[in-house]
Amino acid sequence: MGAKTALLAFADGDPRPALRGALRSDPAEVLGLVRELHPTYEVTPIGDSSLGDDAYPPDDTSYATIRPGVELLCDRRLVTGSPSRLPGRLLKRGAHRRIILHSMHSMSDALTFAVWENGDLVRSLSLSPDGGIVENIGEPYGFELPYWAGDRPVGATLSGDPYALPFHPLDLGEDALRFLFGFILEGQPHPDDTDPFDVHLHGFRVADPTGREQAEREAAMQALLARMKPPRRYEMQPDGTLREITADGS
């Protein structure tokens, strides 16, 4: 599994019908939306893309579309692992609408999704195998129930240890994508799923004009690399088990 998302939507109800079809939004209108949500940043149009290609855009990049009844942004700055702390300006932007957040990352198996109705947080789930359950607010949706009931177990990890959660967050994340937005990125699509590559997005470079954010991000990355342990390697044994290869190759 290798899917990643950073999605935030403001909708007048269910956004799934609005995302179907190869419509193109007004570039000037989308530019205005991105500038509104990034008031202190330099926003510059770049090449267009699709939801299938850029549901998780690079640093300093935002992709967005405006369809009848829904505004959808793919933007890592706008999502958070603690939805209950979503910035007030975003809550105000969707005060009388439905706000939907979906974020998952295949490198860390982290998943976050949340829904607000008319300013009230009705469901928030944020979890990962390393961090455990960060938030679990509101009643689970129906698509979640088999996971919580233990019907979607995860096999043993490469080390042979049991997985840290009773289900794989990315499996649940794909079901959440379908339920909230009507598409998936990995797995077998349903006949009525939207093809994310048909959802056209306008792209923008969104940069901190002071350079401070970029410098902090680079410093954080260097600190993370300094703390990382050497990679562990394994080889398959004749009986199908995995044996770790030691530093001397034995």
* CA neighbor of 28 nearest in space, from 202, 224, 190: 202
Alpha-carbon distance of 102 to 215, in angstroms, equals 27
Q: What is the pLDDT of residue 248?
A: 65
236, with CB counted inside 10 A (0-12, 13-18, 19+), is exposed
* CA neighbor of 99 nearest in space, from 194, 80, 147: 80
Per-residue pLDDT of the chain (250 residues; tens, 9 = 90+): 579 999 999 999 999 999 998 789 999 999 999 999 999 999 999 999 999 999 999 999 999 999 999 999 999 999 999 999 999 999 999 999 999 999 999 999 999 999 999 999 999 999 999 999 999 999 999 999 999 999 998 876 666 678 889 999 999 999 999 999 999 999 999 999 999 999 999 999 999 988 787 777 777 777 766 777 777 777 888 887 778 887 665 5
Please name the residue that has the structure tokens 């937005």: 181
- Tell me the residue type at 199: V
The secondary structure of residue 96, as a DSSP letter, is T
Q: What is the pLDDT of residue 115?
A: 98
Q: Indicate the SS3 state at residue 196.
A: helix
Q: What is the pLDDT of residue 247?
A: 66
Alpha-carbon distance of 133 to 126, in angstroms, equals 6
Alpha-carbon distance of 81 to 111, in angstroms, equals 8
